[in-house]
Amino acid sequence: MSETLIEVKNLSKHFKISRKLVLKAVDHVSFEIKRGETFGLVGESGCGKTTCGRTLINLYSATDGQVLYNGQDISHLPKGKVLDYKQRIQMIFQDPYSSLNPRMTISEIIAQGLNIHFKMSKREQEEKVNALMADVGLTASFGNRFAHELSGGQRQRVGIARALAVEPEFIVCDEPISALDVSIQAQIINLLIKLQKERKLTYLFISHDLSMVKHISDRVGVMYLGHMVEIATSLNLFDEPLHPYTQMLLSAIPEAEPDPAKRRKSVKIEGEVPSPITPPPGCKFSSRCVYVKDQCKLEVPTLKEIRPDHFVACHFPRVCEEVSSC
């Protein structure tokens, strides 16, 4: 069993909309990330994936719960230790167009972290920046350019180099390919895999692209309306999903050459995603689930281990299992 690097315990992030209304973007989410693995986080837009990632690295202050990094609670760090934590954990943002400062050169953008965390001479810093650009597939000539002079893929490479500059061991990849052309997406994914092997990195890979998550992730967590509904290895989740929401997501993946013998039964989902401000009582998926029972509308299901390393938050996972194998 690999060592646990990140352990999230009952993490919540709520946003106060008005005096009476609260948006529960992330609500009592628990999972762990092993050292050296890629943990995928999937779900529909607005389910809380990005908020969870940003709360995990302290870009948002947690409303409740804990985030343990190497066993240390970093949810409420004293000011003196925040800088050290930020060096070890970095983030690659979704939009390479807005995440880079348009008034700074590429070299200056990459060197920001070096200026904060390391004492280097100007020559040492220049050599480090050039080496980082080479690592992500950019030549030294890009150093004097500005972000608007680069393509989307090149900008995302700069974002990756900036994250690597402070030599982190954990990186949150927040939909790093969703804003890129399809032809560039595979290049960025392959670059992330290459860097992970070379630098022994650990990733939280947030995406709504299920096929890409399957390709890059060791384990996957599925979120719905701020809650974690299923966690399993990538192989088990995509082969035998046990939660009806996960089955719905996977049945929506188009297949170029489907095998009739292995074709997954389409799961019908009714209605729209409820408002996170006024979610339904009990199971948050109960208002859309075709297998709903009275207990689902009254009691919130807890995340339980149904199989080895396969956790599901469903009152009747065995029913769902039968459906997934139809």
Mean pLDDT of 6-18: 95
- The whole-angstrom distance between residue 57's C-alpha and the CA centroid of its chain comes to 12
Angle 85-173-236 from CA coordinates, rounded to 5°: 115
Amino acid symbol at 163: A
| Mode of pairing for the β-strands spanning 227-233 and 219-224 | antiparallel
Residue with tokens 């995440």: 99
Question: How confident is the prediction for the chain on average, in pLDDT?
Answer: 90
- In 3-state terms the chain splits into helix, strand, coil percentages (rounded to 5) of 35, 25, 40
Q: How far apart are CA 309 and CA 236, in angstroms?
A: 9
What is the band of 326 on the pLDDT scale with cuts at 50, 70, 90?
very low
pLDDT for the residue numbered 256: 60
What is the per-residue DSSP string for 113-171?
A: HHHHH----HHHHHHHHHHHHHHTT--GGGGG-BGGGS-HHHHHHHHHHHHHTT--SEE
The 10 Å Cβ neighbour count of residue 248 is 20
- Residues 144-199: pLDDT tens digits? 999 999 999 999 999 999 999 999 999 999 999 988 888 899 999 999 999 999 99
Query: 3-state DSSP call for residue 51?
Result: helix
d(CA 269, CA 69) in angstroms, rounded, equals 38
| Model confidence pLDDT, tens digit, residues 24-64 | 999 999 999 999 999 999 998 889 999 999 999 888 999 99
Say if residue 201's pLDDT is above 90: yes
- The mean pLDDT of 250-274, rounded to a whole number, is 68
Domain extents for the chain?
Answer: 243-326
pLDDT digits (tens, 9 = 90+) for 277-318: 888 999 999 999 988 999 999 999 999 999 999 999 999 886
pTM of the predicted protein model = 0.92
* Whole-number CA gyration radius for the chain: 21
Among candidate residues 169, 158, 172, the one with its CA nearest the CA of residue 99: 158
pLDDT for res 260: 58
